[in-house]
Chains A and B, each alone.
Chain A
Amino acid sequence: MLIEQISIFVENKLGRLSDIAEVLHNNDIDIRAMSIADTKDFGILRLIVNNPKKAEEALKKHEYTVSLTKVIAAGIPDKPGGMLIMMKSLFESQISVEYMYAFLSRMDESAYVILRVEDNEKAVEVLKENGVKVLSSQEIYDM
């Protein structure tokens, strides 16, 4: 029940994001969610796309450093307290989060959260036990 996130090394230089967007566009890649983590000199652009393998290949061809990482996509009710259920269940099982970011979907009333944790298997188990919906990669691609 894990999905692949594509991470791209981006130097802090004018025009890099535009260049990446163009590569993705030219290869017909649809972006589901994104976040950027930045430091003074560089950033890591993290994307959930409809076809991670194709995106990886296209970006590598353009000399980008790219890696695929397994992450969890969880669906939670889009209302007050929705996030609490998820975070509490992780906390109670002593699972710490490396990073996370959220997005909404056109499909339903849920909010979706991309989670990067140390132990994916354990986190998926815990989330399911607590009634949090975990999406398969197919569900993300078809969104």
Chain B
Amino acid sequence: MEKYYNKNIECAPLHEIESLQSFRLSSTVRHVYQNVEHYRKKMDEAGISPDDIKTVDDLSKLPFTLKQDLRDTYPYGLFAVPMDEVVRVHASSGTTGKQTVVGYTEGDIKIWSEVAARAIAAAGGGKDDFIHVSYGYGLFTGGLGMHYGTEQIGATAIPVSAGNTSRQIQILRDFGSTIICVTPSYALYLAESIREMGIDPSEFKLKAGILGAEPWTDEMRDEIEKGLGIKAYDIYGLSEIIGPGVAYECSEQNGMHINEDHFIPEIIDPDTGEVLPYGEAGELVFTCITKQALPLIRYRTRDIGVLTREKCSCGRTLIKMMKPQGRSDDMLIIRGVNVFPSQVESVLLGMGNISPHYMLIVDRVGNRDTLEIQVEMTDEIFSDAIKSLEEMENKIKQAIESTLGISAKIRLVEPKSIPRSEGKATRVIDRRK
């Protein structure tokens, strides 16, 4: 039976959600205009006053917020409340530039706990569960976000944090963890380690995983579900908006419901900024309409996704976003062709017997971009004859070529030679820069 944390909202009629959104949006815009100099300037420059924003339909009149805005006002310049009301800060890892700092009031933490609790309920979690949190605790929002969600729903939190695989496995078994919150790449690594340690999966009580913080494919989901004997649910979030819990998957496991009573989503054309209709792929944009400390307006996520209002079998009416295909930041342009690492993953795992560990090496030789895909050798595809291994390389090469439209060199590498991650996996080495 489907579990809900807040059925009244999660299954509310659309017109109720929309009137709630309109009311919250207009008061949020007023709040940031009054309290954040940066937003006041931006709106004045665009000739928009808070009075112009009365309903959700007025949203597109507002200017976008970019990651650069957070950097320009580093660390606290976009905060909309005095610092004495801020009870916590988190920060992004800063892998693509200076790190960005986000803040929360006590009320913001409550909102975050609620949206994370909705994700846990949708994954079948409740008071009786033991929730093993393998996301890192610290400035990264993953660990504490799921931790507070766990406490909110009344389950037992096991705050393991990331790393130390053998200890993770011991705790999973000895503490009777029933739900694990972890990145998909680390979930896969845990499954692999459990198999190698020769532990019988029946020694675990795990039933579900809530996996996020990096893009992953349905093929990878199959691997994880088989390897750990669980149902794997996707969760989406980013610290700028709140952290994990912006959107979450239900029993249908086909797209994530966005907590749109707190965050209004839009899809835009990343080049023109024009709002696109439901069903079309584009860049995801979110507006926070309930947070106090850092209510970002039309924040451009760089994530590529699709929105849909199609009816969901779980009963929720909250709008759904289909699994992001990747971040526009992750997108590689190789010989003029757009390539997402997740497309390569789909092809590899779709072949059935290929290891889920891979690495893309992009380089430039002369004036020509080259793509090498390293794939780990497995017992299943190994053969004592060169001929069969070359056939395997060719098979992968052709599958990649027909899906991506570019040719790649396939290199078979020794098992375990591609670094395993305990957090977000690195899938690309771009040597062109």
Contact residues of A with B, CB < 8 Å?
Answer: 5, 7, 9-11, 37, 39, 41-42, 44, 46, 63-67, 69, 98-99, 116
Taking A42-B389, A67-B379 as contacts, is the C-beta distance between A5 and B412 under 8 angstroms?
no
- B interface with A by C-beta (< 8 Å): 377-379, 382-387, 389-390, 411-417
Residue contacts A-B, CB under 8 angstroms, 30 given: A5-B384, A7-B382, A7-B384, A9-B377, A11-B413, A11-B414, A11-B417, A37-B386, A39-B386, A41-B411, A42-B389, A42-B412, A44-B385, A44-B386, A63-B416, A64-B414, A64-B415, A65-B378, A65-B379, A65-B382, A65-B414, A65-B415, A66-B382, A67-B379, A67-B382, A67-B383, A67-B384, A69-B384, A98-B387, A116-B385
Chain A residue at minimal CB-CB distance from B390: A39
Residue among A11, A65, A67 with max Cβ neighbours from chain B (10 Å)? A65
A46 to chain B, nearest CB (A): 6
Partner of B377 from A5, A46, A65, A116 at Cβ < 8 Å: A65
The smallest beta-carbon distance between A63 and chain B, in angstroms, is 5
**Contact between A99 and B385, CB atoms less than 8 A apart:** yes
C-alpha gap A38/B209 in the complex (Å):
43
Chain A residues with CB below 8 A from B412, complex form: 9, 41-42
Query: Which B residues are in CB contact (< 8 Å) with A5?
Result: 384
Closest to B384 in A: A7
Rounded to whole angstroms, the CA-CA distance of A116 and B390 in the bound complex is: 18
Contact of B384 among A39, A41, A44, A63 (CB under 8 A): A44
Number of cross-chain contacts by CB at 8 Å: 48
- Please tell me if the beta carbons of B384 and A46 are within 8 angstroms of each other in the complex: yes
- Assembled-state Cα–Cα distance A98/B387 (Å): 9
User: How far apart are the CA atoms of A66 and B415 in the complex, in Å?
Assistant: 11
Chain A residues within 8 Å of B417, by CB: 11
**With the chains together, A50 CA to B85 CA distance in Å?**
74
Give chain A residues whose Cβ lies under 8 Å from the Cβ of B413. 11, 42
Bound-complex Cα distance A143 to B384 (A): 24
**CB-based nearest A residue for B417:** A11
Top 4 closest pairs, chain A to chain B, by CB: A7-B384, A69-B384, A65-B377, A63-B416
Chain B residues near A64: list those with CB within 8 A. 414-415
Closest to B413 in A: A11
Contact of A44 among B379, B389, B411, B414 (CB under 8 A): B389
Q: Which residues of B contact A11 (CB under 8 A)?
A: 413-414, 417
- Say how far A12's CB is from chain B's closest CB, in angstroms: 10
CA distance A106 to B411 in the complex (A): 40
Using Cβ atoms and an 8 Å threshold, which residues of chain B touch A42? 389, 412-413
User: Looking across the interface, which residue of chain A has its beta carbon closest to that of B383?
Assistant: A67
A4 to B231, CA, bound (A): 42
CB-based nearest B residue for A43: B386
Inter-chain pairs besides A7-B382, A41-B412, A63-B415, 16 sampled, C-beta below 8 Å: A5-B384, A7-B383, A9-B377, A37-B386, A39-B386, A39-B390, A42-B389, A44-B384, A44-B385, A46-B384, A63-B416, A66-B382, A67-B383, A98-B387, A116-B384, A116-B385
User: CA A44 – CA B417 in complex, angstroms?
Assistant: 17
A46 to B386, CA, bound (A): 11
A92 → B minimal CB distance (Å): 24
Once the chains are docked, how many angstroms separate the CA of A98 from the CA of B389? 14
Residues of B within 8 A of A9 (CB): 377, 382, 412, 414
Minimal beta-carbon separation of A38 from chain B (angstroms): 8
CA distance A64 to B389 in the complex (A): 16
Q: How far is the CA of A141 from the CA of B378 in the complex (A)?
A: 28
Query: Closest residue of chain B to A68, judged by CB?
Result: B384
Distance, CA A11 to CA B377, complexed state (A): 10
Most buried by B among A5, A44, A69: A44
Contacts of A41 in B (CB 8 A): 411-412
In the complex, residue of chain B having the shortest beta-carbon distance to the beta carbon of A42: B412
Task: Report the separation of the CA atoms of residues A39 and B389 in the bound assembly, to the nearest whole angstrom.
Answer: 10
